[in-house]
């Protein structure tokens, strides 16, 4: 991805949050220079990868396969400095923009459609050898048990949410014609380095072409405190 594209996408995300009266923490707006000057008191942000995350999953087609995220809070399993057992994210899914099929080995999460478009979530149980099972999928949607066939869909309108347990394959996107979806994620601790299992191999963080200066740093780009 080009840095100019990432800058533009984050600007658009901030505008979308403002339009829906969703307020981000102050470090969401920091410049690269502010990060250079930030001391060890901000290590929780650095170490737990809070902040902006833009991914095209290595495909180079962000509008078709991609997701923009902002991690608001997170802990780190086994690290006594960061004992939070939970995480919270903002996710922005554009119309027909696929977040590809994956599960988490350990993380249980709720995905909440907070505003905007209708979110389509496609679901499969996993087999012990991590293939797609052909069995019906039973999930909780706002506390109501819902059963769909393997590869079936749950559609979430603003205000609705779905609970995704570990090892449940899921892919999602905002349905065409409904607008960009502003999503929330509330979950157990998030670990993108070890807990994701994509059904088909995907990249996680983009390779960036630096065609202009970064207006914002991504969560994997923070400089260490001096």
Answer for the pair 48, 57: CB distance below 8 angstroms, yes or no. Answer: no
Q: Is the pLDDT of residue 23 over 90?
A: yes
Query: pLDDT-derived band of residue 10, with 50, 70 and 90 as boundaries?
Result: very high
CATH topology of domain 3-198: Jelly Rolls (2.60.120)
Query: Where are the domains positioned within the chain?
Result: 3-198
Q: Stretch 171-196: mean pLDDT, rounded?
A: 96
- CA pair distance 122, 107, nearest whole angstrom: 18
Query: pLDDT-derived band of residue 109, with 50, 70 and 90 as boundaries?
Result: very high
Query: What are the tokens at 72?
Result: 């608001």
List the strands of the sheet with 99-104, edge to edge: 153-156, 119-125, 168-174, 99-104, 196-198
Phi, psi of 6 (to 5 degrees): -65, -45
Mean residue pLDDT across the chain? 97
Whole-model pTM: value is 0.95
pLDDT tens figures, 192-221: 889 999 999 998 888 999 999 999 999 999
pLDDT tens figures, 27-85: 999 999 999 999 999 999 999 999 999 999 999 999 999 999 999 999 998 899 999 99
Strand 137-141 vs strand 67-73: parallel, antiparallel, or unpaired?
unpaired
């Amino acid at each position: 991805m080009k840095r100019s594209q990432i800058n533009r996408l984050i600007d658009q995300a901030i505008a979308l949050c403002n339009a829906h009266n969703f307020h981000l923490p102050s470090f969401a707006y920091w410049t690269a220079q502010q990060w250079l000057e930030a001391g060890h008191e901000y290590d929780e942000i650095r170490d737990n990868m809070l902040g902006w995350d833009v991914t095209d999953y290595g495909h180079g087609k962000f509008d078709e396969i991609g997701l923009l995220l902002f991690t608001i809070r997170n802990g780190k399993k086994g690290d006594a400095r960061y004992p939070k057992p939970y995480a919270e994210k903002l996710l922005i899914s554009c119309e027909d923009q696929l977040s590809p099929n994956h599960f988490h080995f350990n993380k249980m999460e709720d995905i909440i459609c907070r505003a905007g478009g209708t979110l389509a979530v496609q679901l499969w149980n996993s087999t012990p050898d991590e293939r797609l099972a052909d069995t019906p999928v039973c999930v909780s949607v706002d506390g109501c048990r819902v059963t769909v066939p393997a590869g079936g869909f749950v559609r979430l309108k603003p205000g609705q949410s779905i609970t995704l347990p570990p090892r449940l394959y899921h892919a999602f996107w905002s349905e065409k014609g409904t607008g960009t979806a502003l999503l929330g994620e509330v979950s157990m601790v998030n670990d993108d380095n070890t807990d994701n299992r994509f059904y088909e191999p995907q990249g996680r963080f983009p390779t960036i072409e630096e065609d202009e200066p970064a207006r914002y740093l991504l969560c994997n780009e923070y400089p260490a405190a001096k």
